[in-house]
Amino acid sequence: MNGSALLLSLLLPLLQGEPAPPRPGAEGAGDPLFPGLGNGGYDVERYDLVLEVDPDAAEIEAACRITATATHALSALNLEFGTLEIASVTVDGASAEWRRSGRELTVTPARPIARGARFEVAVEYAGSPRPIRSRAFPLPIGWMTFGDESYVLSEPEGAASWFPCNDHPSDKALFTFAVTVPAESTAAANGRRVGVDEREDGARTFRFEVDEPMATYLATLAIGVFDVVEGETDDGVPLVHYLPEGTADDYADRIAFTAEVLPWLAERFGPYPFSTCGAVVAEVPFPGALETQTLPTYASVAFREDVIVHELAHQWFGNSVTVREWEDIWLAEGFAMFAMWLAEERDGGREAYDDAVREQHAQARALGVGPPATPPVHDLFGLNVYVRGALVLHRLRVLLGDDAFFEMLRAWSAEKRHG
């Protein structure tokens, strides 16, 4: 065929309105740092997760229903899913073929899915969730069990340890959770707690609804024996804290701090983007914290004022305004680090802020820390991202002056809200 005949043969079906033939969705979302992570060909609208957890055996039985829209005609589609045993996979209620290769789960529906069609994939599964190893983080990520307690900290690629998903921040979705645990345990997850049902045997089902889009890495679940402390911030955002049994009084000061610092952050960053807030505090042998949406999770050693400010700042920067590709993570960590310097200023005035900036700047220079926006995958959570990211914001603050700078932060969080 000559060029124009070839072009015509390609264009003719389009001109005649013939739909493109179905093809498999891509196996990756196109993230340069994580080529296999996420998938193409569809856009998830919501995850409805139902889990029954046996803490003694460290086993779960679960069902995940994914509601999505096809962005092209699909003959098959991929999800990320770890090592749990699959009992069944259906697409729109009809049994579907599936195969797994590493973390990629390929689902082939009985009939292709049309472009633009809304469809449901339901996966039933069971087993003992295991954390995932990532080149991007030195500790195991995802579902972690300590004795009869479990916590989920997935950033950046651990969500597949507990549910099948399009595990990439470019595809945020709504979530519901219904988690059944034995009488003595409590389950906590992101979002609003909308109900608790009790069975005859005393087992309880805790139901949560996430009202705002959420990235898969921010989905969390905590199962343990907790003191549950409810309250609200000084400007009326409901707060729920899940604390190790018997520690509610010990942490009263940190809960009070959260209640006053969240409105303080909102004055600088714009309205708090979610309908609830709080924390899970875990008495466990891992250091650190994660900004799990509406419910940051802290190791007890990390449940300190500076870390609280960091994880709360992420609710704006990271959780509401989310990276489309992981290499842009300074847009989350740089802002959260910068918020910690602002908190120094809140306590000790501009001098304390300047001291913090100067100290971190000197350290970054001495160590030859690289630029913030092009981290290698093994340095996704390094000083380049955190400190040099925050230094970018400091420089903008100095150049623009406080009025324009904070106006810019509020405009950024408003324009990109839930995006």
* Site for Zn ion, rule CB under 5 A: 333, 336
User: For residue 158, what are its two tokens?
Assistant: 């651990």
Q: Which two tokens stand for residue 81?
A: 């899913």
From Zn ion, ligand ARG, none, which one binds at residue 406 (CB under 5 to 8 Å depending on kind)? Answer: none
Q: Both tokens of residue 389? A: 């990211």
Q: Which of the listed partners (Zn ion, ligand ARG, none) does 381 bind, with a CB threshold of 5 to 8 Å by partner kind?
A: ligand ARG
Q: Is 291 in the site for ligand ARG (CB under 6 A)?
A: yes
Residue 338 burial by Cβ neighbours in a 10 Å radius (0-12, 13-18, 19+):
buried
Q: Are 136 and 156 in contact (CB under 8 A)?
A: yes
**H/E segment holding residue 43:** strand 42-54
Residue 290 interacts with which of Zn ion, ligand ARG, none, CB < 5 to 8 Å by class: ligand ARG
Part in contact with ligand ARG (CB under 6 A); list of ranges 231-239, 263-271, 284-292, 399-407: 284-292
288 counts as binding ligand ARG under rule CB under 6 A: yes
What does 74 interact with, of ligand ARG, Zn ion, none (CB < 5 to 8 A by kind)?
none
CA dihedral 256, 143, 154, 163 (to 10 degrees): -120
Q: Return the SS3 of 196.
A: strand
- Stretch in the footprint of ligand ARG (CB under 6 A) among 50-58, 83-91, 165-173, 289-297: 289-297
Residues numbered 154 to 173 that lie near ligand ARG (CB under 6 A) are 155
CA distance 236 to 257: 14
Minimum CB separation from ligand ARG for residue 333, in Å?
Answer: 6
312 binds ligand ARG (CB under 6 A): no
Contact of residue 137 among Zn ion, ligand ARG, none (CB under 5-8 Å per partner type): ligand ARG
Q: Does residue 44 contact residue 70 with C-beta atoms inside 8 Å?
A: no
Contact 309, 265 (CB under 8 A): yes
Q: Tell me which stretch binds ligand ARG (CB under 6 A): 30-38, 119-127, 244-252, 287-295.
A: 287-295
State the Cα–Cα distance between residues 356 and 327, nearest whole angstrom.
26
- Integer Cα distance of 85 and 291 in angstroms: 29
For position 381 contacting ligand ARG by CB under 6 A, the verdict is: yes
Q: Which does 123 bind (CB under 5 to 8 A by kind): Zn ion, ligand ARG, none?
A: none
Residue 330 CB, shortest distance to ligand ARG, in Å, is 12
Helix (H) or strand (E) holding 330: helix 330-366
CB 321, min distance to ligand ARG, A: 14
Number of helices followed by number of strands (H, E) in the chain:
7, 22
Q: Is 226 in the site for ligand ARG (CB under 6 A)?
A: no
- By CB under 6 A, tell whether 387 contacts ligand ARG: no
Question: Measured between alpha carbons, how far is 399 from 6 in angstroms, rounded to an integer?
Answer: 56
> CB under 5 to 8 A by kind: which of ligand ARG, Zn ion, none does 103 bind?
none
Chain residues in the site for ligand ARG (CB under 6 A) = 137, 141, 153, 155, 288-291, 310-311, 333, 381
